[in-house]
Amino acid sequence: MKRKGLVYLLTIWMIGTILASCSLPVEEIRAAKTRQDDDRAEFRLVKADYGDIVSYDTVSVTGLPQQDAVLSFGVPKGADYEYAGLYAAAGDEVAEGQILAALKSPELDRRIQEEEEHLEALRENFSFQERRHAIEKRRQEIQGAGLPYAERIAAAAKLEEDFEASQLLITDDIEFSEARLSRLLEEKKQYVITAPFDGTVLSAVFPATGETYRGGQELFRVAEIGQPVFQGTVRNPGLFDEESSYTITLDRTEAEVRYVNAEKFGLPRMSEDGSGEYNVCFLLTEDVEFSYSKRYAVRYETAKREQVLTVPTSAVYHANDEDYVYMLDEQGLRMIRKVECGARDEKRTEIISGLSEGEEVLSD
């Protein structure tokens, strides 16, 4: 019984020593003790040794069009307009001047048609007067052949004067009609949406069946797509350089991108959202599919350590903003030691202090 009592007291003393020597919560020490007593747990001893570590992080980016435009009809607000047709959807490639949507304007169409017919009639009258003048001039020359020279000259001058006066009136009417038609056609443009440049429709708002358009609603966003560029923000732009390539994870694949100064694309050096971060841009160097409406991740190197003391990342235990490793003491029992860690990747973690080369730690 005395021996069992001594073992019990020794166990209590060891647990108290562990609690006094590290800042782990009581629950985590209990968990660690449970792991020590769990004969089924499988661990292996791994020596701390020197090696290279490269750690990575990602920046969230979106596609940056070379230019884009938000499109809507230019009709006055406060009235309902009936759709004549919607001819483009998100993702469509469009050409400059291509009609994307139109509204019905029966009254305006009627006025345009009437003005076009009136203008055509004026032009035909102008041509008719020219032909009539040529015939009259020829008739006057034939009939006036026997008249005195002075009378023939006076008659010819009178004919030209009357013709010019008549044509001047018709010309004025034509110019006025052309001006009215031009204004009507300009008004008509407000009932039609056309692509301002070759590009891609990023978004399109399609109305429900029977829905009318009210002035001012945004319908389309069109982007001019050149060589794809992605934009994001980071705390430290110094981690990037134009000589290196980076990896972007897209919908179905990974691709290579190249870092480009954001100012080359008209962006300020620092983000304007008040976050204190910096704009960064990446140029896609491969022909792969992606969506301008989605966010993607660009992987970049944050730290590189050569020939530093390392242990497996799986051997490092983190609690209360501190790092620990499990080791075996002289009696073969598991013990906890606090360490200071540096760079880390998926496989290895740099040990700045707390371990020496060759010391063994427990790893899953």
Query: Helix 26-37 crosses helix 2-21 at what angle (to 10 degrees)?
Result: 130
Segment (H or E) for 103: strand 99-103
Residue 179, number of CB atoms within 10 A of its CB: 11
Distance CA 162, CA 164 (A): 6
Segment (H or E) for 32: helix 26-37
**Identity at 339, one-letter amino acid code:** V
Supply the DSSP string of 43-101, one letter for each residue: -EEEE-EEEEEEEEEEEEEEE--SEEEEE---SPSSSEE-EEEE---TT-EE-TT-EEE
Find out whether 281 and 64 touch, Cβ atoms under 8 Å. yes
| The pLDDT value given to residue 37 | 46
Find out whether 335 and 320 touch, Cβ atoms under 8 Å. no
pLDDT tens for each residue of the chain, 364 residues long: 445 554 455 554 555 554 444 444 433 433 444 444 444 356 789 999 998 888 888 899 988 776 778 888 888 887 788 888 888 888 888 888 899 999 988 888 999 999 999 999 999 999 998 998 888 888 887 777 777 878 888 888 888 888 898 889 999 999 999 999 999 999 888 899 998 888 888 788 877 767 888 777 778 888 776 668 899 999 888 888 888 889 999 887 899 998 988 887 778 888 888 888 999 999 888 888 888 778 999 998 887 888 999 999 889 998 888 999 999 988 888 899 999 998 888 888 999 999 999 999 998 8
| The pLDDT value given to residue 139 | 83
Find out whether 46 and 363 touch, Cβ atoms under 8 Å. yes
